[in-house]
């Protein structure tokens, strides 16, 4: 009997860097596919997914298209973080250039629940302006999102980062918390309490991985400045 093309093993490129991408790699490998996950290389010690892994940028959409063709990939899946916009745009262009089909996996955003004290904003500048003078602000943001808050020298910042920055941060008054977000809301709440946090700033990333801080803020009735994606 000829092989069923629906279930024939495929060579799949996953654009990853998220917990969802790791689960997807595991599942596709279990189904018999040949999976390569691509990581940007932003963190020093990434959790590696199952299957093959490549690390680093491709050199734009054209570079990604060349990689797809040279590797003989049958399909590409964009499972990157919802705020990683450039790579998702590149994936659309690279699919058009290379003819390799693209599937996009976008997590649903978090929805405000009873007890949440969110102020939704569209830009980082609006997030910085939303903070009251004298606030102690927990910034649960990537390092590329911090500049907008530097001018708020009337606030104290608690900045969480996975890896230590190479240079001191430009805030007038800040504390660095190194490490990944906890998955246990009690631990996130203890952290907020220990640092005297009065406001949380974060992005509406969706998904379970970062939700513990939202639960912790709800429990402590902390105001949250929520940066929404388009």
Residue ranges in contact with ligand NAP by CB under 6 A: 15-18, 38-40, 42, 57-60, 63-64, 80-81, 83-87, 90, 142
Of the pair 87, 191, the CB lying nearest ligand NAP is at: 87
Of the pair 47, 194, the CB lying nearest ligand NAP is at: 47
Of 58, 52, 55, nearest in space to 11 by CA: 52
Helix (H, G, I), strand (E, B) or coil at 18: coil
Please state the closest distance from residue 111 (CB atom) to ligand NAP, in A: 20
Of the pair 106, 193, the CB lying nearest ligand NAP is at: 106
Please state the closest distance from residue 89 (CB atom) to ligand NAP, in A: 8
Please state the closest distance from residue 63 (CB atom) to ligand NAP, in A: 6
Of the pair 211, 219, the CB lying nearest ligand NAP is at: 211
- Going 49 to 54 to 55 to 61, the CA torsion angle's sign is negative
By beta-carbon distance, which residue lies closest to ligand NAP?
57
CA distance linking residue 62 with residue 60, whole number of Å: 6
Cβ(190)–Cβ(82) below 8 Å: no
Cβ(105)–Cβ(78) below 8 Å: yes
Residue identified by tokens 């996996």 is 105
CA distance linking residue 111 with residue 210, whole number of Å: 13
Please state the closest distance from residue 83 (CB atom) to ligand NAP, in A: 4
């Amino acid at each position: 009997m000829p092989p069923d093309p629906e279930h024939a093993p495929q060579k799949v490129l996953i654009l990853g860097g998220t917990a969802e991408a790791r689960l997807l790699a595991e599942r596709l490998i279990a189904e018999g596919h040949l999976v390569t996950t691509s990581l940007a290389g932003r963190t020093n010690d990434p959790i590696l997914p199952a299957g093959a892994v490549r690390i680093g940028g491709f050199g734009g959409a054209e570079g990604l298209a060349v990689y797809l063709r040279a590797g003989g990939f049958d399909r590409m899946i964009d499972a990157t973080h919802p705020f990683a916009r450039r790579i998702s745009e590149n994936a659309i262009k690279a699919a058009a250039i290379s003819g390799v089909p693209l599937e996009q996996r976008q997590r649903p955003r978090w929805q405000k629940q009873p007890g949440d004290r969110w102020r939704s904003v569209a830009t980082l500048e609006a997030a910085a302006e939303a903070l009251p003078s004298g606030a102690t602000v927990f910034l649960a943001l990537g390092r590329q999102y911090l500049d907008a808050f530097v001018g708020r020298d009337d606030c104290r910042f608690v900045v969480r980062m996975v890896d230590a920055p190479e240079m001191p941060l430009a805030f007038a008054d800040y504390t660095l918390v190194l490490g990944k977000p906890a998955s246990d809301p009690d631990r996130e709440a203890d952290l907020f309490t220990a640092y005297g946090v009065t406001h949380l700033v974060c992005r509406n990333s969706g998904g379970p991985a970062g939700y513990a801080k939202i639960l912790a803020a709800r429990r402590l009735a902390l105001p949250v400045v929520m940066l929404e994606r388009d």
